[in-house]
Amino acid sequence: MRRRIAAPLATTALALCAALLPAASASAAPADKSQVLSSWTQTGASSYNAFTAARASQAAWGSYGFDWSTDYCTTSPDNPFGFPFKDACARHDFGYRNYTAAGAFDANKSRLDDALYADLKRVCATYSGLKKTSCDGTAWTYYQAVDKLG
């Protein structure tokens, strides 16, 4: 009699474990994903530096499921007139892609565009004279493009 009950009970227990195992192993993104995303998309230099460090070690952030893809400055030059805007554009893409995936793009677009402009201005701050003036003007043009068209 015990065999008749034990066998179906064991089968049921194994089936239950098998049914629950995929759910347990399919790990969800960490609870702090939105905070990490926010911390990497602020206007300050420390936010930019934190993003740059994370981007250099993307594998360490694998459980977060971030979209690291980028087309850099899209159809605009990545290094217009020799100004290295490529990395600023990569962070901007990161923000756009990940906030879109989170369903929170509209609420964050303005800050993402402002962060791009702050990053571009930091690039321009490394120049002086006419070269800085030219860089600042180019940065303003890039900002206006994403503000109006992005």
Give the list of residues 6+ apart from residue 49 with CB closer than 8 angstroms, or none.
Answer: none
Catalytic annotation on 91?
Answer: no
Distances (CA, A) of 33 to 26, 98, 112: 16, 10, 17
- Active-site residue, selected from the candidate residues 66, 83, 90, 92: 92
Closest CA to 92 of 75, 113, 76: 113
Residue 43: CB atoms within 10 A of its CB come to 16
Reported in sequence order, the residue ranges of the chain that DSSP labels E, i.e. its strands, are: none
| Residues tagged active-site | 92
